[in-house]
Amino acid sequence: PGQSPAGPSLLLAEQARRASLDELASLRSVVALAGEGYTATEARVTQLVGASPHGALARLVGSADPAALERLLVSAPALARALLVQQSAPDALADELTRTLLLPIGAAAQAQARLFAAMQPRERRRFALLHPALVAALAAAPASDRFAASRVLIAAALGQSLQARAQLGPGPALQRVERRIALQQRLLDEQVVLRHPDGTTTRHPHQVLNFDPTGDGRILEVIGDLSRARHLAVYVPGTGSDLDRYADSFDGMTPFAAADPGLAVVLWQNADHPDQPFDDPLAAPAPSALLDPAGLVSGVQQYAREHVLAAAYRDSADAAGPVLAADVAGLRVAMPAAVDLTVLGHSYGGSIVGSAEAHGMVADRVVHVASAGAYVGDVREYASASTQRFSMTAYDDPIRLVQGHGAFDAAARLRTMLPTPLDPLAPTAASLATLAVGGAGQIGHGLDPDLIPGVVRLDTGVHDDGRLVRGHSSMFEPGSTAWRNLLAVMTKGEVSVLQPQLWSSHLETLGAAVTLPGGAVMGGTTMRLLPPRYVIDRSPYDDPAYRAPVLDLG
């Protein structure tokens, strides 16, 4: 190298490389020391809280100015967590507000609103900071106080996550905690930027109404400016909606709030949504479990029902519907009377919205977006007959395989999905599947959303480049007939109405695709199964000049 013109440059580069590695090693040492310091601080805070009298911490910070108290709790996650761990002394107002949760949803919202209206703003904010879990759970509490309470809950969760990270080694558990930490820090520190059609932008912090990190996690967040809102939309996403996937749902809703400054969107994940298949791996049974075959079978059935096939069951919708109904009732009371309200449910979220309607939810408009079902078999089970209802499903959406179906017609439905030679196997396969999983009465999501009496079927249409809107989620991509229809329903604009007689599709049965020459399987070929799927044969957009009929909701 000394005889090459590049020799001196290579030598300098190598020296720089070694210097960089030395710097990285030093930084690792600093990070390790900081981590040890944090762990020691957490341990000290925990020790002091545990040794202090009951309610002493709450009494100490409760005398602070509300604004200063909020800054203190949010900037000191260990302190926020300690405040939640050490419950405050008995509080008559807290007890009275807690009792409202036992009332019917309408009465509960009105009672909460009266109790909060009797408080002075500073007193109310201090109460929210000292009782954050309670205030965040009260749907009719003033939104600004719920925002402050939720920031304390997020800070407390961050403190717990940081402590957990310090105790974990490399692996999936640490990766999950790292994702939670990143989300919690974004919720506390990030500014939400909305770019409006006129070129202006608005910024605001994350406006979280409720937050619970336990299990898959729950969150309820407002996107937009509630003080300017003329329209409020509540969006309920579908299967697999948890804190780990929250960013995707949030990113999908921000363009709607940005499109109209008079629209605020509430992203609702305030219940336990069903898991995606195999989100939680099946744990190996203990040796003792092998001696109890019945218990082992029951455990496998439970795992399949809760984690593999959870979306097929109404279980989550049964539990989530009443929570959504209460949240919507509270929002209607907390918002000005002039604000109209739309509730949208995508995929499994449609079943949750239907459950909420069956449990007393009243909204101006309800939209089933590629919905699993209306939850009920008869819309007379819904609380409101005056709600205007809409549905939207792409013609090749796989959700069509299950809309309006359940265990009662499983054999007939399976027969349509299998190749003709396999038709005789359909009844046996359906019976075995139902028997193996159990809970047949809970399978299915009621009426096909397109068949709700009086429903307005919205056109999915095309993207701006002329491609048909296809599949299960592409209607949330801005710049399409479907996206503009959803925005128009939220803002009482003009919607494009579907003309079903101009569309046709067919169901292709289960098949296999063979590629030649392929890989090393089957003598140089590869083969993969093709699930049953709908194929669009004809649409009115085959004619570039086609325009769907328009309905003005204003």
pLDDT tens digits, one per residue of 508-536 = 998 877 666 655 555 556 677 889 999 99
Q: Among 41-50, 424-433, 496-505, whose mean pLDDT is lowest?
A: 41-50
- 335-363 average pLDDT score: 95
The percent of residues in the chain predicted with pLDDT above 70, rounded, is: 85
Amino acid, single-letter form, for residue 240: G
Top pLDDT among 77 and 118 is at: 118
Q: How do residues 62-108 score in pLDDT, each as one tens digit? A: 566 888 888 888 888 877 887 776 655 568 999 999 999 999 999 99
How far apart are alpha carbons 98 and 108 in whole angstroms? 10
When comparing pLDDT for 185 and 43, which is higher? Answer: 185
19 pLDDT above the threshold of 80 = no
Residue/partner pairs of 254-257 with CB below 8 Å, 24 or more apart: 254/192, 254/194, 254/223, 255/478, 255/483, 256/223, 256/486, 256/487, 256/490, 257/194, 257/223, 257/224
Average pLDDT of the residues in 147-166:
94
Residue 174 φ/ψ, nearest 5 degrees? -65, -40
Q: Say if residue 168's pLDDT is above 50.
A: yes
Q: Which of 84-93, 210-219, 314-323, 329-338 has the weakest average pLDDT?
A: 84-93
> Does residue 11 have a pLDDT over 80?
no
Is the pLDDT confidence value at 447 over 80? yes
Structure tokens at 44: 């000290």
In which band, very low, low, confident or very high, does the pLDDT at 389 lie, cut at 50, 70 and 90? very high
pLDDT for 126 equals: 92
Mean pLDDT of 39-66: 58
Residue 297 has pLDDT above 80, yes or no: no
pLDDT at 404 over 50: yes
Q: How far apart are CA 311 and CA 317, in angstroms?
A: 10
Torsion angle, alpha carbons of 459, 460, 463, 468, to 10? -110
- The rounded mean pLDDT for the chain is 87
Is the bond preceding residue 281 a cis peptide, omega within 30 degrees? no
Q: Using pLDDT thresholds of 50, 70 and 90, give the confidence band for residue 289.
A: low
* pLDDT of 542 above 90: yes
* Average pLDDT of the residues in 32-59: 56
Give the CA angle between residues 535, 537, 539 to the nearest 5°.
Answer: 115
Q: With contact defined as beta carbons under 8 Å apart, do 420 and 435 qualify?
A: no
Nearest Cα neighbor of 448 from 513, 482, 400 is 400
The pLDDT of residue 328 is above 50: yes
Amino acid 287: pLDDT:
64
- Return d(Cα 268, Cα 210) in angstroms, integer: 10
The mean per-residue pLDDT over the stretch 278-301 comes to 68
pLDDT over 70 (residue 286): no
3-state SS string over 506-553? EEECCEEEEECCCCCCCCCCEEEEECCEEEEEECHHHCCCCCCCEEEC
Q: Is the pLDDT of residue 161 over 90?
A: yes
Indicate if the pLDDT at residue 225 is higher than 70.
yes
Q: Which amino acid is present at 237?
A: P
Contacts of residue 515, defined as CB under 8 A and 6 or more positions apart, other chains included, come to 525, 526, 527
Amino acid at position 208, single letter: V
Tokens (6 digits) for 472: 């299960």
Q: Say if residue 489's pLDDT is above 90.
A: yes
- pLDDT for position 251: 96
Give yes or no for residue 3 having a pLDDT over 60. no
Lowest mean pLDDT among 28-37, 189-198, 339-348, 432-441: 28-37
The amino acid present at 1, given as its one-letter code, is P
Better pLDDT: 546 or 46 = 546
Q: How far lies 295's CA from each of 174, 285, 298, 306, 412, in Å?
A: 32, 11, 5, 16, 32
Residues 226-250: what's their mean pLDDT? 95
Residue 162 above 60 pLDDT? Answer: yes
pLDDT band at 46 (very low <50, low <70, confident <90, very high): low
Rounded distance between C-alpha atoms, residue 145 and residue 72, angstroms: 16
pLDDT value for 2: 47
Q: How confident is the model at residue 1 (pLDDT cuts 50, 70, 90)?
A: very low
User: Which one has a higher pLDDT value, 191 or 17?
Assistant: 191
Above 80 in pLDDT, residue 380?
Answer: yes
Instruction: Give me Rg for the CA atoms of the chain.
Output: 27
CA 138 to CA 363: how far, in whole Å? 19
Distance CA 36, CA 34 (A): 5
